Amino acid sequence: MEAKVKWVEDLTFMAEAPSGNTLLMSAGKNSGGKDSCLRPMEMLLLAIGGCASIDVISILKKSRQDVVDCEVSISAERHDGVPAYFTKINCHFTVTGNSLSDKQVKRAIDLSFEKYCSVSFTLKETAEISWDYVIVECKTG
């Protein structure tokens, strides 16, 4: 797997993923970058949320759960020093559906973090990773 990051200007860079998709990333405005771009550490949080969400939806669909929405809010704490790596990450899932099984939702999220999510496995040596969830029943009518 290969990716590219090319300097654009100031502290702004164009990132190209192996899939060919691109995005701009930058240091924050206070560091000489642009606030209109994602920062690398923000992308890392988005990556853990995205990776786990893909697993959770896939597992729930395979379990024939009638899931209609899944949102994950990610909060994190960073080391107070340089480098400012993540020390704690919590992923809070809100899973919405029709008659979802609590057991199946818990199983899907646990399997993601304990077996499938490559991003969480990459981060677990430096960050304490936790997760929790709520289930929201779809409103009919």
Domains of the chain and any CATH numbers: 1-38 (2.20.25), 40-137 (3.30.300.20)
CA distance 7 to 22: 13
CA distance 1 to 33: 28
Per-residue model confidence (pLDDT) at position 122: 96
Token code pair at residue 99: 């008659």
Token code pair at residue 96: 């919405």
52-62 pLDDT tens trace: 999 999 999 99
Average pLDDT over residues 3-16: 94
Instruction: Express as a percent the part of the chain with pLDDT over 70.
Output: 98
Per-residue model confidence (pLDDT) at position 76: 98
CA distance 129 to 23: 27
Per-residue model confidence (pLDDT) at position 51: 98
CA distance 5 to 8: 9
Confidence of residue 30 (pLDDT cuts 50, 70, 90): confident
Query: Is 90 exceeded by the pLDDT of residue 34?
Result: no
- Pairing verdict, β 66-78 and 86-98: antiparallel
Query: pTM higher than 0.75, yes or no?
Result: yes
CA 89 to chain centre: 10
